[in-house]
Amino acid sequence: MINVSKLKKGIIIDHIEAGHGFEIYKELHLNDIDDVVVLLKNIPSKKMKQKDLIKIETDLQIDMTVLGLIDPNVTINFVKNGELYKKISLTLPTVVNGIMTCKNPRCITQYEDVKDIKFFLVNEEKKQYRCEYCDAYTTFIDEE
């Protein structure tokens, strides 16, 4: 087992479904920040058998909306002075702004440079969202 030292400040994203860690790393643009970031994958877990985990030693505020879209079962732990001071579980956001793109090939957003497209949650079970322009249903991650 690889040991990573205890976080003094920042965010721990835990209970990431094994294999989703790198997706979250990319979508949170963690490559672009100068702080220490650790991505651990395939960690043995009693509850999940295997899980991924990300530690970010930072003071930055990070928009976590995208986490709910990729893996709504993750938990986020906020650490200050080496102590856990806040823990939140995620749910699917009801409105997503500027993160998703419409997959309808006939949607105008495929042809024009449209910023900050809004999507509205329509089916929690299927993680489906409705495009504000064409009303087509879409998901953030392709169905497997």
**Contacting residue, 37, 62, 114, 121, with other proteins by CB under 8 A:** 114
Task: With CA atoms as reference, report the closest residue to 96 among 77, 72, 113.
Answer: 72
Q: What's the CA gap between 135 and 115, in Å, rounded? A: 17
Tokens describing residue 119: 């999507």
Pick the closer one to other proteins by CB: 116 or 144. 116
**Contacting residue, 18, 38, 43, 134, with other proteins by CB under 8 A:** 134
**Contacting residue, 59, 83, 113, 143, with other proteins by CB under 8 A:** 113
Contacts of 104 (CB under 8 A, 6+ apart): 110, 131, 134, 136, 138
- Segment interacting with other proteins (CB under 8 A) among 8-16, 38-46, 85-93, 127-135: 127-135
Would you count residue 101 as binding other proteins (CB under 8 A)? no
Tokens describing residue 33: 């920040």
Matching residue, tokens 């997959």: 103
Closest distance to other proteins from the beta carbon of 98 (Å): 14
Binding site for other proteins (CB under 8 A): 102, 104, 106-114, 131-137
